[in-house]
Amino acid sequence: MKDSDIIALFFAREETAIAETTAKYGRLLQSIAYNILADVQDSEECVSDTYLQAWNSIPPQKPESLSAYLGRIVRNQAINVWHRNRAQKRYNPADVMLEELGDIIPAGAGIEEEIDANELARHITQWLRALATEDRILFVQRYWYALPLKKLAAEHGSSANKLAGRMYRLRRQLKDSLEEAGITL
Amino acid sequence: MNDMNKTNDNKQKDAEKSFLQEEKVFQAISRLDDDLIEEARPRPARIKRPSPKKWLAVAAAVLAIAIIFPYIMDFSGAMPRLDPRFTGKTGKDAAPQSPENLHESGELADYGPLLAVNYPAGHSYEDYDARRQIRDQNQLSGDFLEAVNDFGFRTAAAILAGNQTGENVNYSPLSLYYALAIAASGAGGETAAELHDLLGVRDTATLDDQSGMLYRSLYFDNEIGKFLIANSLWLDDDMNGEPVIFKDNFIKNAAENYYASSHSVDFSDPATADAMADWIAKNTKGTLLPELEVDPEQILSIINTVYYHDEWTDRFNAQKTEPGSFYLSKGEAVEIDFMKQTFDTGMFYRGDGYTRASLALKNGGNMVFILPDEGVSPADLVATQEKLEDVFTGGEFFSGEVVWEIPKFSFQSKLELKEILQALGVESSFLPAKADFSGITDHLAYISSLTQETHIAVNEDGVEASAFTDLAFVGAMQPEDRAEMILNRPFLFGITTYVSYPDTDGCRSLETPCFIGICENPTA
């Protein structure tokens, strides 16, 4: 079913919307949550909550890309669960990913006005668009879809070590680019 | 010492700050443009499930229509010529034939299929393209789906309201619909008009065409679940030495639109009942093993089976299953195991006298549970078609916490449907002098009996200890309301599935009831 048809079902308040969403995106959402949490039950909870949030937010929202819209919700759900698990000292793959993202944080005294997430997103988007396609896909797959390095390496025909180096260079490039733009977090 | 504390404090603050910054980056990445996200979309990942433990909902139904040769007959008219294909029966292992070859063959199997059918190809659970293709190729009409639903609720209300015995009852409207549709495809005159009226269609061509599409839309057979609908015709070409000729068009149409296999049998031979029972057991995966009786006067039996089996989308934790009391209508209590699960953010409906909530099944269906309010009996909720429809489709929507406690139940029920259909206006089909099944055979023939047997089980299949985390999940949303689906008194249930159809606004879908029942006593 096309996204627009599924969205039409949400608008018509047809419960089928959930079934259709599950059929089309269930696996994808589950894998995003699982990549962050590495726990089947935790990720199933995130996915269920994603459906409910979608049900409650469409309408009024009318997303252009349903997969990106749902993916954002599930990322947020997953990071909430990650917080909970972190408080309980449960290890999650998100720890590794967030640590990697630490490399991107630009150096700065912190006296300037802090940038908000939307503005930061715009800068990162701009930077991504200037990258070679493969690098761009790699970055988004690692940090948006939270795919584990090992899996990324396998998919891109590289070794995990080599790929880790490439990812590190990408993060440094982004950091430099943010610093050049005078961005502080 | 103080300095040390200060250093530790600062370290912690730094760590917190860096952590907040990292999360800000994470949040910013969340907001990347849609096209970048689409571009990088990975292939679906396979997640290894922690255990093969499955919670299943299994339901099966068989409906048998016996069409009989009237006892008092006028043989003065010329008997139809004996069709050469129906002479010289051969062994049981004769190969089934395709509809196209029917004319060319001079041989028939004894009780093996005279005409076999190829069921739709099953596709894997994750094969969305195949699903979409099936939907695109089978453009159902909204009117037809509404007619199927109307038929379902009308007949279910008549059956459930008539069940005054306080026994469990389970009924498959879909199974009855298919069996009657096949009979209607061979009916003429008033007999056809009455059947069309109940089935909610104008003519046989529409019924055949749409029934075939619905069949293909509903059918699934994958690694997770199965929804198998099977039809068969059992034909006896010899009535006390008088040949009976069945019309090719009827048999071919039944094969093409109803996936009905045809079997040539002798109803005066008790082995025929065994062959039919075997076919039923095979098509309901052994859940139904009916003891059939055949009438030597019988010339045709139409059998439909529906077998449904799927996994819960959200599994129950077996370790939470606990015995508890179920309070019967008469007041006494029985002990049974209750499966337990709580959804912090679930959906439910409240209406006059009931609360309804559903548990999703992986292939897109739902198991619907309706808990009558205290002091309301299931009979009150099924008294009329309008009330039953309201109970299954109406009510006010709420979202919030849903607490589930469901008794593990399993039962079989058997229904005689002739009188109910007569009350719903199908009369001439049952009258030897009036029945017109001229599309099936030129002989006089009428329906002598119509029975449905069903099996339903909501249970745990294969126990394997596995660890489940026992955390109450705190969702991002505040629950707005709360429902307790504690099914410890008689309740209604249904298995429904969504069927899509094209509409002027794009695509719509209807939730079609495949099974509807009342659980009065889960231990019965």
What are the pLDDT digits (tens) for B218-253?
988 888 888 888 888 888 887 777 788 889 999 999
Q: What is the DSSP letter of A171?
A: H
SS3 B344: strand
Residue of B nearest to A142 (CA): B40
pLDDT digits (tens, 9 = 90+) for B108-136: 334 556 677 778 877 777 676 777 778 77
Lookup: tokens for A155: 């998919």
Of all residues in chain A, the one with the smallest CA distance to B363 is A23
List average pLDDT for each run of 10 residues in chain A, which is 185 residues long.
87 86 86 83 86 86 87 88 72 75 72 69 91 90 87 81 88 89 78
Nearest to B228 by CA among B59, B459, B477: B59
CB contact under 8 A, B345 and A52: yes
| A22-26 LR contacts (CB < 8 Å, sep 24+) | A22/A51, A22/B313, A22/B360, A22/B364, A23/B128, A23/B131, A23/B364, A24/A66, A24/B128, A25/A66, A25/A67, A25/A70
- Round the average pLDDT of chain B to a whole number and report it: 78
Predicted pLDDT of residue B75: 31
Cβ contact B22–A136 (<8 Å): no
Question: How far off is chain B from A180, nearest CA to CA, in Å?
Answer: 17
Which positions ≥6 away from B311 have C-beta within 8 Å? B54, B55, B56, B57, B224, B225, B361, B362
Q: Closest approach of chain A CAs to the CA of B136, in angstroms? A: 9
DSSP assigned state of B428 = G
**Helix, strand and coil in chain B, % to nearest 5:** 30, 35, 35
The answer to whether the Cβ–Cβ distance between B469 and A42 falls below 8 Å is yes
Per-residue pLDDT band for B295 (boundaries 50, 70, 90) equals: confident
Q: Is A88 exposed, middle or buried, given 0-12, 13-18 or 19+ CB atoms closer than 10 A?
A: exposed
DSSP for B310-343, please give it: EEBSS---GGG-EEEEEE-TTS-EEEEEEEEEEE
pLDDT in tens, B33-87: 888 888 888 754 433 333 333 445 566 767 677 766 554 333 333 233 233 333 3
Residue to test with chain B: of A27, A151, A170, A172, most B Cβ within 10 A? A27
- State the first-to-last Cα distance of chain A, in angstroms, to the nearest integer: 41
Q: What is the pLDDT of residue B504?
A: 65
ipTM comes to 0.76
DSSP for B89-104? B--TTPPPB-GGGGGG
Higher pLDDT, B503 or B177: B177
**pLDDT of amino acid B507:** 64
User: If we measure between CA atoms, which residue out of B341, B315, B313 comes closest to residue B401?
Assistant: B341
